[in-house]
Amino acid sequence: MESSPDIPPNPEDSLESLEPDRAFLALTTRQRDWLMTVAYLHLEQHKPDRACVLLRLVYRAFPEDSEVQRCLALAELLAGFPVAAARAATRAFKQSDGPLRVPVGLVFAKALWEQGKHEAARDFLASLLTDERR
């Protein structure tokens, strides 16, 4: 599969812009699961801004967790932050395999479209669907 297009960094809407001397956020897996459940509920209730807050916190504690990345990408997209959504979807897409690649790819393509990168979105979507058929 072709790699996703690179998204230029935008410090205003990325997690990397958080102050470097902030204390590491330590959560247990049980706390992670609870926050993920609450975030899912916020998404179901059409409150993506609230879900983003929770998911950004969970992401800080579990940056390699692909489920967190997938959910964060969707929440960022629904909240109107397509650059952050594309960045999270890129991370999630790289870790996804099998049936999860298509939904993550769709979030990524929609994030590109929302940024006005229509040709890149079409190209990525076409390659995603072509590779999925193989």
Q: Flag whether 65 is in a domain.
A: yes
Tally of domains in the chain: 1
Q: Closest Cα partner for 105 from 129, 84, 81?
A: 129
**Structural domain harbouring 123:** 26-133
Q: Flag whether 62 is in a domain.
A: yes
* pLDDT tens for each residue of 19-59: 433 446 788 999 999 999 999 999 999 999 999 999 999 99
* Dihedral pair phi/psi, residue 6, rounded to 5°: -75, 135
Q: Flag whether 14 is in a domain.
A: no
Query: Residue 89 pLDDT > 60, yes or no?
Result: yes
Q: Flag whether 8 is in a domain.
A: no
Region class of 5: left (phi > 0), else alpha (psi between -120 and 50), else beta: beta
Query: Residue 7 pLDDT > 60, yes or no?
Result: no
The Cα–Cα gap between 98 and 25 comes to 31
CATH code of 86's domain? 1.25.40.10
The Cα–Cα gap between 87 and 108 comes to 8
Q: Flag whether 13 is in a domain.
A: no
Q: Flag whether 85 is in a domain.
A: yes
Express as a percent the part of the chain with pLDDT over 70.
80
* pLDDT tens for each residue of 67-78: 999 999 999 999
**pLDDT in the model for residue 20:** 39
Q: Flag whether 18 is in a domain.
A: no
Q: Flag whether 40 is in a domain.
A: yes
What is the rounded average pLDDT of the residues 6-25? 48
CB within 8 Å of 27: residues ≥ 6 apart: 35, 57, 58, 61, 62
Task: Match 């994030």 to its residue by tokens.
Answer: 111
